[in-house]
Homo-oligomer: A and B are copies of this chain.
Amino acid sequence: MAVTTAHRLSRDQVIWSFGPELEPVLEVEAGATVTFETNDCFTGQITSEDDLVTGIDMSRINSATGPVAVKGAEPGDSLIAEILDIRPAEWGVATLIPGFGQLIDLVQSPLTRRFQVRDGEVRMNERVAFPARPMVGVVGVATDVDTLSNGLAGRHGGNLDDRLHGKGARIYFPVRQPGGMFAVGDMHASMGDGEICFTGVEIAGEVDVRFDLLKGKQATWPVTELADRWVPHATADDYDEALKRVSEEAARLLVDEHGFSMEDAFIFLSVACDAGVAQACKPAPQFGTIGRFSIPKLGACPRPFA
């Protein structure tokens, strides 16, 4: 069921990269709600199993709808994007891409599979179906200096590909430019942690977002709040480095926001918090590997930023 949002952006209003100088297509107050129509990651170029990734225009990949400027967002703040609802379309695709993913040496590629999404279920074929877990892969704000294609992830967000970015997630982005400049796309009806073939069930749809601001506080990478946990992220060329960075990021939250010593943060993360993998579809270092850490919200325990 769609919530009633105050604004709507069409899937023709898109960006293909996040940079420092983005022109907003909409400006809203903090507290506003916006519905984003999003393209699938291939921008509709693959609609049947006969359409292969090798036959499409690779410059039209991972569009993100926006950007939206939020009034009052300034560098040093956090822009909070709360995902109120995600409504995938009925048909999605996954693809095997020559050279990409953990098992690419064992398969014939390119190859396309089509999935039907209906009543909360994703159907792969007559025999195999699984629950839909709608989420957004590309979600971010303007960068500080660099211009990064939407295939990439970084401190601005971008292609974070975290399956936790579904309905109810509140993502805190570090604002680098006035207005923040938020954009979202690359919806998946379902994606597994790791996204090991480089795609989830890629699908068009609609995303409802509510914006808020946290003045004067920000993390280095996006941090996501769920009902039961805080989830910092970090990116690197390989997972071992991404895990080290996200461990540092998680420890900083515990030290700066909740008064842990660094020693106790290190121990608490080891004994009570869960390291995870958002995306790791190697070999593809140029696209980054994304680590995350789940810090439980507990009675007496940390609520970073709270």
Interface of A is mostly: mixed
Does the CB pair B200–A276 fall under 8 Å?
no
The closest CB in chain B to the CB of A261 belongs to B107
* A94 adjacent to B243 (CB under 8 Å): no
A125 CA to B261 CA, complexed, in Å = 12
Q: Which residues of B contact A125 (CB under 8 A)?
A: 264
- B199 near A271 (CB under 8 angstroms)? yes
CB closest chain-B residue, reference A130? B272
Q: Is A282 an interface residue (CB 8 A)?
A: yes
- Nearest CB in chain B to that of A260: its residue: B128
A148 within 8 A of B: no
A86 to B277, CA, bound (A): 28
Nearest B residue (CB) for A103: B266
Contacts of A293 in B (CB 8 A): 194
A87 at the interface (CB under 8 A from B): no
Number of copies: 2
Q: Is A296 an interface residue (CB 8 A)?
A: yes
Give chain B residues whose Cβ lies under 8 Å from the Cβ of A281.
Answer: 270
**A289 to chain B: which residues have CB within 8 Å?**
240
Closest CB of chain B to A232's CB: distance in Å?
13
Q: How far is the CB of A108 from chain B (nearest CB, A)?
A: 6
Q: B128 near A193 (CB under 8 angstroms)?
A: no
Complex Cα distance, B271 from A73, in Å, reads: 35
Q: Which residues of chain A in 233-282 are interfacial with respect to chain B, using CB atoms and an 8 Å cutoff?
A: 238-240, 243-244, 247-248, 251, 262-277, 280-282
- A111 and B243 contacting across the interface, CB-CB below 8 Å: no
With an 8 A cutoff between CB atoms, is A45 at the interface? no
* Chain B min CB distance to A294 (Å): 8
Report yes or no: B196 in contact with A129, Cβ–Cβ below 8 A: no
Which chain B residue has the least Cβ–Cβ distance from A194? B275
Tell me which of A23-31, A138-146, A176-184, A297-305 binds B: A297-305
User: Which 7 A-B pairs rank lowest in CB-CB distance, beginning with the nearest?
Assistant: A194-B275, A197-B270, A193-B274, A102-B247, A239-B239, A130-B272, A103-B266
